[in-house]
Structure 1
Amino acid sequence: MEEGSGMHSSSSDGTGSIRRVLLISAGAGHSVALLSGNVVCSWGRGEDGQLGHGDADDRFTPTQLGALDGREIVSVTCGADHTTAYSESQSQVYSWGWGDFGRLGHGNSSDLFSPQPIQSLQGLHIKQIACGDSHCLAVTMKGEVLSWGRNQNGQLGLGTTEDSLLPQKIEAFQGISVKMITAGAEHTAAVTEDGELYGWGWGRYGNLGLGDRNDRLIPEKVSSVEHEKIILVACGWRHTISVSSSGSVYTYGWSKYGQLGHGDFEDHLIPHKLEALHEHCICQISGGWRHTMALTTDGELYGWGWNKFGQLGVGDNSDHCSPIPVKFPDDQKVVHVSCGWRHTLAVTDRHNVFSWGRGTNGQLGHGDSLDRNVPKIIDALSMDGSSGQQIEASKVDISSEKITVLPTERYAVVPKENSAFLLGRDGNDSSVPENDVKRMRI
């Protein structure tokens, strides 16, 4: 595989100890990890530049993103086909990948094949970044929210349906301190420091939790959940998951594949308590394209929903409408989980990284393109992985070289009719927003 410089980098930190994975994030077909020492690795689908290695090649094993070396990155977040990273010391957000609809925040719709700083966010102290399919949001340490990218259904919360090529402040949160945000395909959710839940954007499946199927152009408060405060929220493609301060899970929205976990395939228009997990205290949640993962305080991982590619990790390829426990070697406890569209990543307490689900573009990181329906350790990123495992490194000097591709060079504009590209990229999903015009690869 051709790399930017042909360099190799050991997965050790120079002291002989293996770099530990601190964060993982999964996109539509790619994966990103943040390792100790501020090292960023990416792998999987690279067609839109979302891996950041300066080209459009897929990577089948974790590859160090040399362009971010020395940038002191502390967080990474995958959108569907783009990626963001944040440097706390530099107060700088970087983005790269598919640029359609302005989702990269650089004032245009060009694709970027290497990380570039978002100039308008320079100097802001960022608490969290969320990326959806085609839009992004950032919460500042002051609790303010900025959004950018696609806005056809109001998912930016700005009161309009116009896309934004640059980050804009959501004025509706003036005087309200936001704790965290999450983004789905065309909808967004937020939790405030006071434990209140908000939803906005596309709402056809009740995924805003507001009791109807209407869109919202500005954030609207979700009715209180049995007088509990909400502390976590995550969006799937068209469903939403939230966790209360007592550790209870509430889900709402689309459930065609059982992704709400209530033992049926019925949509819910308001948050509905997941009784199957009532004996567990949930501390982390993640939503995939049509599947859901929940992590307990005891380190047990549960999955439910769409499972065509084994993305639930429960040993079969059948959909499950109720939570199923995911088993790990030696009963390892899970400390972090991230759902991609069709694959899932997890980190265990033994500092091992596992992946499962769709592997067609190498997004599982095992050096092949196989699907897997049980967790498999990613050797290069794991303490218990193969000894002497090397991580490939790519190097693109982002200060002197800006690798961009204009949309007109890569796409033809197509109407929504007869476009398989609109149908969830699989050509099998007819539930797309009306009046949708996307670019299709030529």
Structure 2
Amino acid sequence: MPRKKVTEGNGRPSGKKRSAGKKRGRDDFSSDDDLDLDGSPASDSGPNHKRASKAGAKSPTGIAAIVVTEPEHSKEKIKLEGSKAKGRLLIFGATNWDLIGRKEVPKPQAAYRNLGQNLWGPHRYGCLAEIQVRTVASGPVSAHSLLITTEGKLWSWGRNEKGQLGHGDIKRVDAPKLVDSLKDEVFVHGACGRNHTLALTENGSVYGFGENKMGQLGLGNKTDAVCSPALILYNGQPITKVACGAEFSMIMDCKGNIYSFGCPEYGQLGHNSDGKYIARAQRIEYDCELVPRRIAIFIEKTKDGQVLPVPNVVVRDIACGANHSMALDSQKRVFTWGFGGYGRLGHTEQKDEMVPRLVKLFDFPGRGASQIYAGATCSFAVNEMGGLYFWGATNTSRDSTMYPKIVQDLCGWKVRSLACGKSSVIVAADESTISWGPSPTFGELGYGESKAKSSTTAQEMKTLDKIYSEHVAMGYSHTLVVARDETEQDGERLKKLPEYNPRTL
């Protein structure tokens, strides 16, 4: 049977104690700010990174192409190229950053309680009138966002209680703002966790900032908040892709190795452990990975339960949900691991997986995957033929899909970019932008003020009719679109959209 109901709080066996401060359930995305782990403050600059790479190493799907290789005293440099997109940023959904995913604004942020409305249709940011955007990033459990301009400058905005915007403070920022301390770097890619951020430069270095109490910044220590960008502790091959889960992170190097760090609670780090140990007073605590650690083994499970290693895995793309991870390799195989609730791993069972496990459906000639995406409690893949597959659950009160199934509503569409928030999905395909998600929504589907606010089936966004979406990203309950702006016609259509100029204190 493909469908099962999830019971006992998302499949967790009852009777297990959790550590103090980790009170939320596995997929409760509200912020938990009641646990401070002492640690020495992270320095603002990491070690000097030694990098080496063979000329002509292949690039991962859709992110970076290595275009320059210069030998220099046995050390070879790389230069990554990010997305070729060039357009304007559009935003819709919830913009009251301190309230997202919470019943009320926390006391220290009370002054901001009434700042930021729900935008029911696409808006342009007034402050970005002259800014050409290359790419945007947020995450299914994030109330903050990044954008990278065509010059490679990094901007950030949103919730900032842990310094996840990298501006050196913990003040909320309502409209995109340049990360000043990194203005001399050129960025190609970024990722957002619940309260932390990773940003990748064109030479393969990674900066981290925000919450680090589970080691998710890879700085070698645990700190409540790192407000200024710091280089992660890593001196291997240049990095070509970064991804963030709720409280963990993943990086991929140009050789196709992946490294993970942060919270290991459900095996999402892929190191064959959930990191649990019994601390004082019978409390369960977690042995977090404080620096990037390479994932060493990939497996498949046979029908009769045998576990076999999968050799020659060269990873080309990575994606992280709230508590699960995905990888796509050079042979178009998909691996998933971490928390198995709601069937999000696609293995027809809800067991947590401690190491990357092969998803059988894509392991056939002509049926391999070309793209992967992770939502908070679900997963997506596009196969070689262009079919979009889904597994897991977006609406956790309904039945779950326990293994990859084709999304019938999108048969025949060529998916270019996809993003998933807490429960909503947006897709850029062909000339259209398509979205769907169950109630309650906050405008992240972008249907407009007078239209239905939610939809259980995929709907074309009429509000973006004749506007070409280059790239889409979604946070917990807000959506970002890079809309093409190359011709006069493009510009005229974009000018017809309303402008958003947030009120500030």
Normalised to the residue count of structure 1, the TM-score between the two structures is 0.75
Q: Does 1:352 align with 2:414?
A: no
Q: Does 1:93 align with 2:154?
A: yes
Higher CA-based Rg = 2
1:282 touches 1:294 (CA, 8 Å); kept in 2? yes
Equivalents in 2 of 1:135, 1:344: separation in Å?
22
Spell out the pairing of 1:25-424 with structure 2 (5 A cutoff): 38-48=87-97, 55-79=115-139, 80-89=142-151, 91-162=152-223, 163-171=225-233, 173-214=234-275, 215-225=288-298, 226-279=311-364, 280-308=367-395, 317-328=398-409, 331-349=412-430, 351-359=431-439, 360-367=441-448, 368=451, 370-383=453-466, 390-395=496-501
One-letter amino acid of the structure 2 residue matched with residue 75 of structure 1: T
Shift of the 384–94 alpha-carbon distance from structure 1 to 2, 3 Å rule, reads closer
One-letter amino acid of the structure 2 residue matched with residue 354 of structure 1: I
2:336 touches 2:345 (CA, 8 Å); kept in 1? yes
Equivalents in 2 of 1:300, 1:138: separation in Å?
31
**Deviation, structure 1 residue 241:** 0.5
**SS of alignment partner, residue 127 of structure 2:** helix
Matched residue, 2:36: none
* CA displacement, residues 314-367 of structure 1 (integer Å, 9 cap, x when unaligned): xxx421111111123672222221111211111112x20111114520111112
Shift of the 264–362 alpha-carbon distance from structure 1 to 2, 3 Å rule, reads same
Count matched residues.
354
One-letter amino acid of the structure 2 residue matched with residue 135 of structure 1: H
**SS of alignment partner, residue 446 of structure 2:** coil
Equivalents in 2 of 1:43, 1:49: separation in Å?
16
Equivalents in 1 of 2:267, 2:292: separation in Å?
15
Equivalents in 1 of 2:84, 2:362: separation in Å?
32
One-letter amino acid of the structure 1 residue matched with residue 87 of structure 2: N
**SS of alignment partner, residue 150 of structure 1:** strand
**Deviation, structure 1 residue 381:** 2.0
**SS of alignment partner, residue 237 of structure 1:** coil
**Deviation, structure 1 residue 36:** 7.0
**SS of alignment partner, residue 47 of structure 1:** coil
Equivalents in 2 of 1:307, 1:92: separation in Å?
33
Greater Cα shift, 39-48 or 323-332? 323-332
Shift of the 49–114 alpha-carbon distance from structure 1 to 2, 3 Å rule, reads farther
Shift of the 224–193 alpha-carbon distance from structure 1 to 2, 3 Å rule, reads farther
**Deviation, structure 1 residue 197:** 1.0
Equivalents in 2 of 1:194, 1:212: separation in Å?
25
Matched residue, 1:430: none
1:343 touches 1:358 (CA, 8 Å); kept in 2? yes
**SS of alignment partner, residue 147 of structure 1:** strand
Equivalents in 2 of 1:138, 1:37: separation in Å?
19
Shift of the 99–404 alpha-carbon distance from structure 1 to 2, 3 Å rule, reads farther
Equivalents in 2 of 1:358, 1:106: separation in Å?
35
Matched residue, 2:48: none
One-letter amino acid of the structure 2 residue matched with residue 240 of structure 1: S
**SS of alignment partner, residue 101 of structure 1:** coil
Structure 1: 5+ residue stretches without partners: 1-22, 24-33, 311-316, 397-402, 406-442
1:154 touches 1:200 (CA, 8 Å); kept in 2? yes
Structure 2: 5+ residue stretches without partners: 1-61, 63-82, 101-113, 276-287, 299-310, 469-492
1:309 touches 1:373 (CA, 8 Å); kept in 2? no
Shift of the 302–46 alpha-carbon distance from structure 1 to 2, 3 Å rule, reads same
TM-align CA RMSD: 2.6
2:373 touches 2:380 (CA, 8 Å); kept in 1? yes
Normalised to the residue count of structure 2, the TM-score between the two structures is 0.66
